[in-house]
Amino acid sequence: MAQASENSPVEGLNIGTSASAASKKAESKDGFFWGTGRRKTSIARVRIKPGSGELKINKKKLDEYFTRPQDVNAVVAPLKTTKTEKSIDVLVNVKGGGITGQSGAVMLGIARALKNYDPSLIGPLRDAGLLTRDGRMVERKKPGQPGARRRFQFSKR
């Protein structure tokens, strides 16, 4: 199969380009790299850029927003895995769901933003399981029942 040249008649078709051109960094005009994370009903929009290691969630410091240690550890896990906690500034807007769902959404958003920032970090993030979205959601309530799985009490007589 012949490869298309750089001046291909079909615009946007880059079949014969090198890997470095294909892995361009998705940077916005203000120097931020974006990542979106979701968990249960929580949605986190994450922006990162090279800096001094500042991490703000909804304009608060990490320890002010997440007070439980497991939530703090989940949020900083992608940064520790890639050893970038002191060299990247992270700004997060998160809404919806509860505290654990929000921390999981922030974790996925930071991992995806790091993937956009530097494609060479995909390996460690993937090995740690940080780029996999947790698809578990609350099961819906069924009609004629008091809950999703709960049934009314059975009466033999």
Give me the chain's average pLDDT, please: 87
What pLDDT shows up at residue 25?
Answer: 54
What pLDDT shows up at residue 1?
Answer: 47
Tokens of 82: 């890639």
The per-residue DSSP string of 66-78 comes to --SHHHHHHHHHH
As a whole number of Å, the CA-based R_g of the chain is 21
What residues contact residue 67 under an 8 Å CB cut-off, 6+ apart? none
Q: Is 132 part of any domain?
A: no
Q: Is 78 part of any domain?
A: yes
* Confidence tier at 26 by pLDDT (50, 70, 90): low
* Confidence tier at 157 by pLDDT (50, 70, 90): confident
| Domain, as residue range, for 55 | 28-127
What residues contact residue 30 under an 8 Å CB cut-off, 6+ apart? none
Q: Is 145 part of any domain?
A: no
Q: Which sign, positive or negative, has the C-alpha torsion 123, 126, 130, 133?
A: positive
* Confidence tier at 27 by pLDDT (50, 70, 90): low
Residue 63 has pLDDT above 50, yes or no: yes
Q: Is 10 part of any domain?
A: no
Q: Is 88 part of any domain?
A: yes
3-27: average pLDDT = 48
- Number of alpha carbons in the 13 Å side-chain half-sphere of residue 41: 5
The CATH number covering residue 71 comes to 3.30.230.10
- Residue entry with tokens 């958003």: 109
Q: Is 140 part of any domain?
A: no
Domain count along the chain: 1
Q: Is 74 part of any domain?
A: yes
* Confidence tier at 18 by pLDDT (50, 70, 90): very low
Q: Is 79 part of any domain?
A: yes
Report in angstroms the alpha-carbon separations of 95 from 32, 66, 100, 118: 20, 13, 12, 26
What pLDDT shows up at residue 11?
Answer: 53
